[in-house]
Amino acid sequence: MVTLSSSVITSHNSDAKSLGICVQEKLKSCKSLQELKQIHAFLIKTSSPIHFHHLIFTKTLSFSPCSSSSSDPTYAHSLFAKLPEPDIVAYNAVIRYFSSAKNGNNSLVALLVLVGLLENGLFPDNYTYPFVFKACMQLCKLREGEQVHAHVIKKGFVSDLYVVNNLMRLYAVCGGVDRMRKLFDGSPERDLVSWTTLIQGYVHMGFGREGVHVFFEMCSAGIRPDEIAMVVVISACAKLGDLRLGRKIHEYMFDHKVKFDVFVGNALVDMYLKCGCAEFARKVFNEMPVKNVVSWNSMIFGLAQQGKFREAIIFFIKMQSKGFKPDSLTLVGVLHSCANLGGLELGTWVHAYIDRHHLEADGFLGNALIDMYAKCGSIEKAVRVFKNMKRKDVYTCSTMIVGLALNGQAERALEVFLEMRNMKIEPNDVTFIGVLMACSHAGLLEDGRKHFIQMSKVYNLEPQVEHYCIMVDLLGRAGLISEAEEFIKEMPIVPDASVWGSLLGACRIHGHVELGKNVMEKLESIESEEDGTYVLMSNIYSSSDRWREASKLRKAMKELKIKKKPGCSLIELDGVVYEFRKGDKAHPKANVIYTLLAELHYQMRNPTDLIHSDII
């Protein structure tokens, strides 16, 4: 609360000069918009000179328009409107204020202020245009930006580097790639910002390779890149998934001793992981002199995306031991890893952490919780998270539907699908994967057919290969093998191995040997070295007592050096997930485990000796 009555009124009674000093001191110490409005109210009440109100206006603009708690755009505009004769400095200040806001309405005000500036006979300068371009970027108004560009040419600012760089950024954001390049080529002067903006524009619009080419052009022109330029070009390599190009950029950094800050380090880690090179990513991470939460998140997410879930969790444990506080993004990566490892204990701990730190379990974090509980078999906890979420979107509902379908809860999955209509949430491709999966697992043939037709007829969604695969599985489970085969022949897209694999699985269930042989030939032409096809066909022969064909097929597997992938079992103990494969001896206590297993096997064969065993 600002106390003005004692000090300010006394100053007012003495003279205007001391009042001015006191007001300036109060404004200097003012920390909130509420305090500022109290000072303003006092000045209005005491009929203070008009120049004090100009000070209030200037102070108002110092509060960030991006923060709803520390700014009031309407108040700022009303102060500006009351200025008797605002000059170009005042106009620039208010345009800058409104263009800095992320709210589209505020950016529109910035453009309207420009119109007022021109109507009052003032001329924009090289500080006006960059903020106007920024407002156009916020609104994605390319046409209006082009009109201002014409004004820039008319007023002779087209050779001003600061103006040109900001105009290039406008075209980069709004998709005018040709205009951006033409502007760059026609500029009489270029600096590092010009080159970086051009590279960033290409990368932003999906022309990553062109962006990298411009980077090397810049280097050839004798312009030394800074950390910002390096982050942009490294991110281009990440989007391209081009490891060779990424390593070339990394080598350039090393050879030219480019500053290796945390942002460059994070970009390199992300690039190597997206290019499938976890080893180099780990090496860069370990060499980083400074790390932040983004560094750890890059490793955790990147490893999880590569299927290295156990390593991702190990990094999470290290992150905590180093004193870094995980954010929502960290927890999503960890929950994704838990979901794929069946790590229910750690996943439950993460859920407790979310509640303990009052994080909002909505959006992607809530969706990750639902997915984790569903894949770990705790479907009721998944449903509880779903029901407690305040904001649900199509991804939330789709995750819940798929989770229920995987856990054999077909009717509940279809109920959630019906709820989506009440919530006015439009389904997407993933939603229908869950719906069709639920129908397939529960044998709901007619419901499955209905929903498959509704995809295109009602929701304008073209079925993808995954949807066709589930429909083949649904028809196959119902014993409609001929219909499933005809369904594949009528597919508008080329069936892949998963579709033919579903039909082969149906042939095994219902003993269709000859059709199975035909399907296997299709699969051999698609993926000739896949062990599952041979094993499944061998089982079909064995189930039909055609042992000679089964033996011949297994012999062919040996000749082609196709080995059956060993089965895998996961067990979680004290928050650590252990993986065991057939014949696996990689565990440090493998000898103890196999000794105990042999003892258990002996006791099962000799139950009368159990009472004398040390096992109990």
Are 141 and 107 within 8 A, CB to CB? no
Using 50, 70 and 90 to split pLDDT, how confident is the model at 615?
very low
Residue with tokens 């709820």: 419
DSSP character for 290?
Answer: S
CATH class of 464-567: mainly alpha
Confidence bin at 513 (pLDDT 50/70/90): confident
pLDDT at res. 304: 93
Give the separation between CA 301 and CA 316, rounded to whole angstroms: 10
Tokens of 449: 């057919």
The least confident of 273-287, 382-396, 520-534 is 520-534
Q: Are strands 568-573 and 576-581 parallel, antiparallel or unpaired?
A: antiparallel
Q: CA 481 to CA 155: how far, in whole Å?
A: 75
pLDDT at 1 (0 to 100) = 47
The DSSP secondary structure of 343-406, one letter per residue, reads -HHHHHHHHHHHHHTT----HHHHHHHHHHHHHTT-HHHHHHHHHH-SS--HHHHHHHHHHHHH
Residue of 372, 366, 424, 431 whose CA lies nearest to 398: 431
Number of H helices, E strands in the chain: 34, 2
Under DSSP, the state recorded for 103 is S
pLDDT tens, position by position, 438-482 = 999 999 999 999 999 999 999 999 999 999 999 999 999 999 999
What would the pLDDT profile of 25-72 be if each residue is shown by its tens digit?
A: 676 667 666 776 776 776 666 656 555 666 666 666 666 565 545 567
Instruction: Select from 344, 387, 343 the least CA-distant residue to 366.
Output: 387
* Rounded Cα gap, residues 410 and 541, in angstroms: 33
Q: Which of 162, 257, 243, 177 is nearest to 211 (CA)?
A: 177
CB–CB of 419/435 below 8 Å?
A: no
Q: How many residues does the chain have?
A: 616
pLDDT, one tens digit per residue, over 189-243 is 999 999 999 999 999 999 999 999 999 999 999 999 999 999 999 999 999 999 9
Tokens of 198: 């051009």
572/166 Cα distance (integer angstroms): 55
Q: What is the enclosing helix (H) or strand (E) of 580? A: strand 576-581
Core vs surface per residue 215-224: b (16+ CB within 10 A) or e: beebeeeebe
Angle in degrees, 0-180, between the axes of helices 50-61 and 33-45, rounded to the nearest 10: 170
pLDDT of 12 reads 45
CB atoms within 10 A of CB 104: 13
Mean pLDDT of the chain: 84
With 60 as the cut, is the pLDDT of residue 613 above it?
A: no
Q: What is the mean pLDDT of residues 98-104?
A: 75
Would you state the structure tokens that stand for residue 48, as one six-digit string?
């203070």
3 state DSSP class of 378: coil
Q: What is the mean pLDDT of residues 165-183?
A: 91
Structure tokens at 410: 């077909």
Confidence of residue 261 (pLDDT cuts 50, 70, 90): very high
Say what angle helices 328-341 and 344-356 make with each other, to 10 degrees.
Answer: 160
Is residue 549's pLDDT more than 80?
Answer: no
Residue with tokens 């579903």: 502
Q: What is the pLDDT of residues 564-610, one digit of tens each?
A: 555 556 565 655 566 666 666 666 777 777 788 777 877 777 766 65
Q: Nearest Cα to 508, choosing from 486, 482, 476, 551?
A: 476
Query: Tokens representing 245?
Result: 């190009």
Q: Domain ranges in the chain?
A: 1-58, 63-189, 392-463, 464-567, 568-612
